[in-house]
Structure 1
């Protein structure tokens, strides 16, 4: 097993991302690293609607074992709210950054902390929510700190959705909002926080503080976290696409799950 995550892979030394498999040499010391994991499209396969995403058998057990091996330094980093994360993984609970950095829980049995993000203005949220009426296939998801318009069931509505959002932004040029394009989803949130700001806050607290983070993500919203990993001496891995600036990538969430399970196998062999 390699002694140092930085020795395994350096973002500066690897200009072209490489495909990572479960049998890869990428094997960090779990007692020295922090595992930061996006959920949708990274740990879990995408589904037609957010409510249909499911956790494969054994994944929660793997994550709990890794959380213990890292002395608690494993966290889920998601655009989903903490309540929604808990719903998906029920009855398991994990440290998490939720709502694109709006919410945080440092321990599985802890309370939410560092929730500095203000909620969206209700009138603005009402106007944005009305965009869902453009097509029966558009699914509206109110996350509290953000609003998501899912159009996986209505792909023809993509352009109309973004045009409607642009008109609202033009009408309210001073509204502190940010539009996050994703995989068949347009998400609008309050500006001033993102997944990166949430991870920065997370890494300032034990048990994450002082460890080398390994962040795995798949979408545009994960790019802000990819960008800050070098500052922590950490490692970024993208899923499904070769994201700019990352050292490695997985082809699909199934490979991520297999790699995580393989980390436990490696630890057992080293004991």
Structure 2
């Protein structure tokens, strides 16, 4: 049974820690993942908001951190990339890789021929994760699922995650919820109330962790979720981020 979801309370920079997904939350989903753009006014708002939060601000994404940096420049921020397999604990800190790409070599080889046989499926190699895309070709979902499941058969310590028009294979033992939990153990996130915004099934791990910590989970867009609140779409996210708390501190 999923809880009824309501409009989230206003963000309180004095006591909240803000965690944001990227695709489908800060930017609209695109057929070409490299074609996304963050509007200048939205980027300026994020830079200002990070300062008001005293840097208790992080982006948690399936993207590589290097890609997030390119899309969000000149913003410098804490981040978890590839669902937590890449980690940057603070703005300006070094990116740490929790697993090496060679662990996925058997899967790369297993995917090579099936993907060559179906041009509608496209492979994105993130190094520590492999993503089979079928955006714009929903009829290929069953094939993408089957190809991914067959590729990991017999290979230990891998996880298959399904999202919006993708199937992702990565090293097991890490997800956005665990990444968020790690951030919450250290400054400047420690002793704040976590707020997480995300749109996809891969964000459910973070919503569950936020609920465990007594925070606020915000589902972006339609669909069932364990999140406690909802915003309708990407433009709703940016309007919500622009809201100012009441003089008494605003939201809970």
TM-score (norm 1): 0.84
Q: Secondary structure at the match of 2:174?
A: coil
Q: Is the 8 A contact 2:121 2:144 kept in 1?
A: no
- d(CA) in 1 for partners of 2:110, 2:234: 35
Aligned pairs for 1:228-239 within 5 A: 228-239=209-220
> What is the CA-CA distance between 1:116 and the residue it aligns to?
2.8
Instruction: Work out which of the residue numbers 29, 39, 42 in structure 2 matches 1:56.
Output: 39
Q: Retained in 2: the 8 A contact 1:148–1:187?
A: yes
Between 1:158-167 and 1:189-198, the stretch displaced more is 158-167
State the 1:136 CA deviation. 2.1
Query: What SS is found at the alignment partner of 1:133?
Result: helix
Gaps of 5+ in 1: 1-13
Task: Look up the match of 2:192.
Answer: 211
Q: What is the number of equivalent residue pairs in this alignment?
A: 247
Aligned mates of 1:129, 1:59 — CA distance in 2? 39
Q: In the TM superposition, what is the alpha-carbon distance from 1:186 to its structure 2 partner?
A: 0.9
- Asked if 1:29 corresponds to 2:12, the answer is yes
- Structure 1 counterpart of 2:98: 116
Q: Secondary structure of 1:208's match? A: coil
Q: Which residue of 1 aligns with 2:152?
A: 169
Contact 1:77 1:98 in 2 (8 A): yes
Corresponding position: 1:15 with 2:3: yes
Of the candidates 233, 240, 252, which is equivalent to residue 252 of structure 1?
233
- In the alignment, is residue 191 of structure 1 matched against residue 179 of structure 2? no
Matched position secondary structure for 1:237: strand
Partners of 2:247 and 2:45 in 1: how far apart? Answer: 13
State the match for 1:241 in structure 2.
222
Contact 2:107 2:152 in 1 (8 A): no
Shift of 1:175: 2.1
Matching residue of 1:220:
201
Structure 2: gaps (5+ residues) = none
Matches of 1:218 and 1:32, distance apart in 2: 24
Counterpart in 2 of 1:7? none
Shift of 1:182: 0.7
RMSD: 2.1
Counterpart Cα distance in 1 of 2:114 and 2:13:
45
Whether the aligned pair in 2 keeps the contact of 1:131 and 1:161 (CA below 8 Å) is: no
For residues 205 and 118 of structure 2, what CA distance do their matches in structure 1 show? 31
1:101-148: CA deviation from partner (whole Å, max 9, x where unpaired):
1112122222124x4334333232232344432322322211111011
User: Tell me, what secondary structure is at the counterpart of 1:58?
Assistant: helix
Post-superposition Cα deviations, 1:237-257, rounded to whole Å, max 9, x if no partner, equal 101124332211011011001
Task: Give, in whole Å, the separation in 1 of the partners of 2:176 and 2:113.
Answer: 26
TM-score, normalised relative to structure 2: 0.90
* In structure 2, distance between residues paired with 1:60 and 1:137: 33
